[in-house]
């Protein structure tokens, strides 16, 4: 079964290959050759007048001394010819004496020992037309001189009986007793239109090989795939742009809804705060059960107020104005720590250019988290190395309380980590700083590029 399958494949390949040569023949039949040489004229030449090695000295037949004597005598018609065979001594004597050769001498001895045709050496100093029929094809100026333009490999193939030759894109075709020359401009376009790609043998894989030619079917035009790929790329870009626009639109809508909610909540929260203050003044008059409920109410109202304020800051972070101002670091940290009953430690007291409002907002949120999840004492450590300010908030809480995975995940939008930490991340990103979480004990480190305030700012 396998043998039959292989035979079928070989028959199909042969039929396909034969079709390529037939297409090329049809394309050449429609083309006009630039030159045509009768095969009989080429066959009338001696093989030595076609073979490329005939142009080299006959090192294997003559000794080096004989060749050197012959070359020296040819240049000046004088010198010793003792090592030269008698035949070529007689040739040199007749040439230098301006004599004549026997009628069949050039036919019987077409190739000179020094290389080239004997006729070319004989014609030195004589009319060009003399002995022209016995020149090598690379020494001729007539139509047979076209063969002299062929490469060494093509001349060898010509002598070996090839019927196709490839020379620098031109085709040589032996048909009907004539060698015909087809330049590339005369055949290539027609052959490619017929579905045949022609190249020199050995440069690529061949569907069909004919002497020095390699025939392959022309590849299908690539433009449909390019159009398809360009269309897919355009659709991908359009889809990406549409998704980005939708995402931006939804973000704007969510932000608008949050702004409206924050704005609308502030009014009832303010009303509840007034009620709480009124109840606080009359706290002693309340029953014991109402006093317990009042504590929960006051805590809830305070939490709502903090949430509304944090939301307002979070929404305004998109229009963050750094507004760096000269701040004496010790006084500023003291004020922040006092609001949260925290201690602070400072390595250097300096007046720095700080975005005081936004950095204070970050510290307030971190200290609020410390009070919620940690245990006292809460500390704020400050370190300034001349280029970067590092503020570290330490407490005794657990890392799991802060949900580190949610904290470090980019684009989380505050989910799972509290709005306060989301504000810190967003503000620091806009200020060119960063936030790190480590522990135990749990520590938040804020790093921000700052510089010392000029002297006039400090004095002011």
- pLDDT tens by residue, 311-357: 666 666 555 555 678 888 888 888 888 777 788 888 777 888 888 87
Number of structural domains found in the chain? 4
- Among residues 407, 426, 400, the alpha carbon closest in space to that of 314 is found at 426
The CA distance from 132 to 1, in Å, is 64
Same domain, 376 and 443: yes
Domain that holds residue 72: 56-117+124-135
For residues 17 and 151, membership in a common domain is answered with yes
Are residues 265 and 290 located together in one domain of the fold?
A: yes
- pLDDT value at position 128? 67
Helices and strands per DSSP (H, E), number in the chain: 15, 14
| Average pLDDT, consecutive stretches of 10 residues, N- to C-terminus, the chain (460 residues) | 41 51 79 85 89 91 91 88 90 86 88 91 77 87 86 88 85 86 81 77 75 75 71 89 89 72 73 81 78 77 75 60 75 81 80 82 79 75 86 69 43 47 76 81 84 62
193: β partners: none
Question: What CA–CA distance (Å, rounded) separates 160 from 171?
Answer: 17
Same domain? 152 vs 130: no
Among 219, 244, 263, the domain-final residue is: 219
Rounded to 10°, the helix 2-29/184-193 angle is 130
Radius of gyration of the chain (CA): 50
The predicted structure's pLDDT at residue 109: 92
Residues 46 and 195 in one domain: yes
One domain for residues 308 and 360:
no
User: pLDDT value at position 312?
Assistant: 67
What pLDDT score was predicted for residue 9? 38
Question: 207 and 306 share a domain?
Answer: no
Predicted confidence at residue 450, as pLDDT, reads: 86
Residues 335 and 304 in one domain: no
pTM over 0.75? The answer is no
Domain boundary among 291, 315, 339: 315
pLDDT at 104: 87
Same domain, 160 and 263: no
What is the rounded distance in angstroms from the CA atom of residue 448 to the CA atom of residue 444? Answer: 13
The whole-number pLDDT of residue 263 equals: 64
pLDDT in tens, 44-78: 888 999 999 999 999 989 999 999 999 999 888 88
> Which of the listed residues 203, 219, 235 is the one where a domain comes to its end?
219
Residues 106 and 150 in one domain: no
Quote the pLDDT of residue 306.
73
> What span, in angstroms and rounded, lies between the C-alpha atoms of 371 and 354?
25
> Which residues are CB-neighbours of 82 under 8 A, at least 6 positions away?
69
* 200 and 229 share one domain: no
């Amino acid at each position: 079964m396998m043998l039959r399958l292989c035979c079928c494949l070989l028959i199909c390949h042969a039929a396909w290959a034969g079709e390529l040569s037939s297409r090329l023949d049809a394309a050449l039949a429609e083309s006009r050759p630039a030159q045509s040489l009768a095969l009989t004229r080429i066959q009338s030449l001696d093989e030595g007048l076609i073979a490329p090695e005939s142009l080299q000295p006959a090192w294997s037949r003559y000794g080096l001394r004989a060749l050197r004597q012959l070359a020296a005598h040819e240049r000046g018609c004088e010198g010793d010819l003792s090592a030269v065979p008698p035949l070529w001594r007689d040739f040199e004597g007749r040439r230098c004496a301006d004599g004549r050769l026997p009628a069949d001498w050039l036919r019987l001895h077409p190739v000179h020992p020094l290389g080239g045709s004997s006729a070319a050496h004989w014609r030195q100093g004589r009319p060009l037309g003399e002995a022209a029929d016995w020149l090598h094809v690379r020494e001729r100026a007539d139509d047979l001189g076209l063969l002299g333009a062929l490469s060494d490999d093509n001349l060898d193939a010509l002598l070996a009986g090839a019927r196709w030759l490839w020379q620098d894109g031109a085709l040589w075709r032996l048909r009907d007793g004539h060698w015909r020359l087809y330049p590339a401009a005369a055949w290539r376009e027609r052959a490619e239109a017929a579905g045949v790609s022609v190249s020199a043998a050995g440069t690529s894989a061949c569907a069909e090989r004919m002497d020095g030619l390699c025939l392959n079917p022309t590849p299908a035009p690539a433009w449909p795939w390019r159009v398809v790929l360009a269309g897919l790329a355009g659709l991908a870009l359009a889809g990406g742009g549409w998704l980005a626009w939708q995402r931006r639109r939804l973000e704007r809508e969510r932000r608008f809804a949050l702004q409206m909610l924050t704005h609308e909540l502030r009014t009832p929260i303010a009303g509840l705060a007034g009620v709480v203050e009124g109840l606080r003044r009359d706290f002693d008059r309340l029953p014991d059960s109402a006093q317990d409920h009042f504590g929960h109410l006051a805590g809830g109202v305070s939490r709502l107020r903090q949430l509304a304020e944090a939301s307002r800051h979070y929404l305004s972070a998109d229009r963050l104005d750094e507004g760096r101002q000269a701040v004496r670091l010790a006084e500023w940290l003291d004020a922040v720590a006092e609001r949260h009953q925290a201690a602070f430690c400072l390595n250097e007291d300096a007046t720095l250019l700080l975005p005081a409002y936004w950095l204070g907002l970050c510290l307030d949120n971190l200290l609020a988290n410390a009070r919620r999840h940690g245990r006292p004492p809460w500390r704020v450590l400050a370190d300034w190395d001349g280029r970067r300010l590092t503020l570290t908030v330490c407490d005794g809480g657990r890392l799991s309380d802060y949900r580190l995975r949610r904290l470090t995940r980019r684009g989380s939008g505050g989910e799972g980590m509290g709005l306060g930490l989301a504000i810190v991340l967003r503000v620091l990103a806009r200020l060119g700083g960063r936030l790190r979480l480590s522990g135990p004990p749990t520590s938040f480190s804020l790093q921000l590029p700052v510089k010392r305030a000029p002297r006039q700012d400090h004095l002011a």
